[in-house]
Amino acid sequence: MRPDPFTDLFSDAALDRCGPAGLAEGERVLLWMLRQWAAARVLREEPGARLSKTAGALISPRLASAFILMMSAIEGQVRRPLRFSTPGCCGYVDDEQRLIVACGVSPASLEMADRLIEGLVIAPEAVTLMARYLNAALAQEGMALPMRLDEPAIANAPLRPRTLH
């Protein structure tokens, strides 16, 4: 049996270690789910089924469903392959940050959220609506995303080398 670098990526510990320090709980959960989606694709698994089961059990079925809806909308109209870090990476890349910030600002400004993701998808309006729904689901679980309208300080911090997918 070959060693697999994606072993145990769906554990509670992987969720706690995901991303840089200073993220709100909702941002960390969303970043973890983005990376799990990418890891499932790398492993040639159906990410929706895997996240529905695992994220549904760890976090909530409603939140897992909202995330799967958003990612399905993104994959249906993606402009280019999205870049995600590995699940245990302490930093995060631009595509991850754009999606998370778009979810956070979507209740206040759909236009700003559209601009954040317009380079990632063909029609950002549909994804922005899904991001707004995902933000509401996070809020119902007590993990509302902060509305970061400026550059977070952690985005400028030097990061350790990471693996991109």
pLDDT at 66: 94
Contact in structure between 39 and 87 (CB atoms under 8 Å):
yes
For residue 87, give both structure tokens.
């699940």
Contact in structure between 36 and 49 (CB atoms under 8 Å):
no
pLDDT at 57: 74
Contact in structure between 84 and 96 (CB atoms under 8 Å):
yes
- The DSSP code for 153 is G
pLDDT at 10: 53
Q: What is the pTM of this model?
A: 0.81
Residue ranges of the chain whose pLDDT lies below 70: 1-13, 148-165
pLDDT at 87: 73
Cα separation of 90 and 162, whole Å? 8
pLDDT at 148: 66
Helix extents (H) in the chain: 12-16, 25-42, 47-58, 61-75, 94-105, 110-117, 124-140
Count Cβ atoms below 10 Å from residue 66 Cβ, excluding itself: 24
